[in-house]
Structure 1
Amino acid sequence: MKKALLVVDYTVDFVADDGALTCGKPGQVIEEKICQLTEEFLNDDELVIMPVDLHEKDNPYHPETKLFPPHNIRGTAGRALYGRLADIYEAHRSDIIWMDKTRYSAFAGTNLELVLRERSIEEIHIVGVCTDICVLHTAVDAYNKGFSIIVHKDGVASFDQVGHEWSLRHFTATLGAQVL
């Protein structure tokens, strides 16, 4: 079965101590697992996609504007990939698909499904942040589109531990995903 790795929103704003909407330590702890999986998928010639949140400065029309502080603003350092993942991306830029997204789900308003279907991808591995927001919504859409889902427990994190734990249960109980 052909598979792809989705590395969701692993950026400075979501992970660094001074990030605008940071998971902090829980997000930092998963860095090595995310990097290890990214390198493993690249070494196996499997597809790696990095769906990354994109917001415009002072956009009053985006629904997140009322819910969260400004984050992942176009052209800011906060939108850069966090830690060693940035180096991996630079070294393998031609082998990794960067995908701007403007909603929680990596499928909403992007060509993600088309990219996966044209490569006959059936199994999606998901890592990144936040477990209970963008990872969850991406997994729900993947389920609704008929993909097999694997969430790597030690590769996801949130700033809300209760939401994180609830999402891990939801992945298996409601979406039929494997949580490894």
Structure 2
Amino acid sequence: MKALIVIDYTNDFVDGSLPVGPPAIELDERMAAITQAYVDQGDFVVMAVDLHEENDLYHPESKLFPPHNIRGTGGRDLYGKLHNLYAEQSDSIYWMDKTRYSAFAGTDLELKLRERGITEVHLIDVCTDICVLHTAVDAYNKGFAITVYKDAVASFNQTGHDWALGHFQGSLGAVVWSAEDTILRQKK
């Protein structure tokens, strides 16, 4: 059994206070199409969404990045078509707040996956070499098989993005596929 984990496709990460910018904006339709395909198949779909508190000086990211994904702000809303999809189908998608790079750190994600018998996680979103990477490393360490859709992840810089894609395959044994060639083709 598999699950789709959609990581941090929010206004702040796409074109807000900590923007990936055009590479993330270009994913808008693909994010929604992939998510819809997994919902339609009855797979477990997780929105793993970064959550920060205003003026939190103790969070380690506060020294690395400008404030982003602050509780109660529009920057934390899902971006574009994914926002609309979630609004229409929230009963089929598990929303999970996360406060660290990895969707596993300090959350109930592993419990939710194990109780459903899920052994394989599929990852999409931003940032390839930060939150997607750390989630993939934790998934690997917990024994989950990993698939990353290379045409459904983006990062602040192409070098980090390319390095992470190689790392997924070479060091974590992940399958790195094109969503266009796999899940979206099956849907058509």
With normalisation by structure 2, the TM-score equals: 0.93
3-state SS, counterpart of residue 50 of structure 1: strand
Shift of residue 31 of structure 1?
A: 1.7
**Deviation string, structure 1 residues 93-128 (Cα, Å, up to 9, x no partner):** 111000000000000000000000000001110001
Aligned match of 1:12: 11
Structure 1 segment 1-180 matched on structure 2, within 5 A: 2-16=1-15, 19-180=16-177
AA of the residue aligned to 1:6: I
Q: RMSD across aligned C-alpha pairs, in angstroms? A: 0.5
SS in 1 for 2:172: coil
Letter in 2 for 1:102: T
Q: Distance in 2 between matches of 1:170 and 1:112?
A: 23
SS in 2 for 1:81: coil
Aligned residue pairs, count: 177
Partner of 2:185: none
1:113 maps to amino acid:
E
CA distance in 1, matches of 2:43, 2:76: 25
Deviation track 1:75-109 (CA, whole Å, cap 9, x = no partner) reads 00100000000110011111100000000000000
Distance (whole Å) between structure 1 residues aligned to residue 17 and residue 118 of structure 2: 34
Q: CA deviation at 1:141?
A: 0.2
The Cα shift of 1:32 comes to: 1.8
Compute the TM-score of the two structures, normalised by the length of structure 1. 0.97
Name stretches of at least 5 consecutive residues in structure 1 with no aligned partner. none
Q: Deviations over 1:37-80 (max 9, x none)?
A: 10100111111000000000010100000000000000001000
The amino acid across from 1:71 in the alignment is H
Q: In structure 1, what is the Cα distance between the partners aligned to 2:33 and 2:79?
A: 14
Aligned mates of 1:20, 1:31 — CA distance in 2 = 18
% same residue: 60
Q: Distance in 2 between matches of 1:7 and 1:155?
A: 10
Question: Which blocks of at least 5 consecutive residues in structure 2 are unaligned?
Answer: 178-188
- How far does residue 160 in structure 1 lie from its aligned partner after superposition? 1.6
2:53 aligned counterpart, secondary structure: coil
Question: Aligned partners of 2:167 and 2:144: how far apart in 1?
Answer: 16
Instruction: Specify the SS of the correspondent of 1:174.
Output: helix
SS in structure 1 at match of 2:71: coil
Q: Deviations over 1:108-164 (max 9, x none)?
A: 000000000000001110001000000000000000000000000010000121110
Runs of 4+ in structure 1 off by over 2 angstroms are none
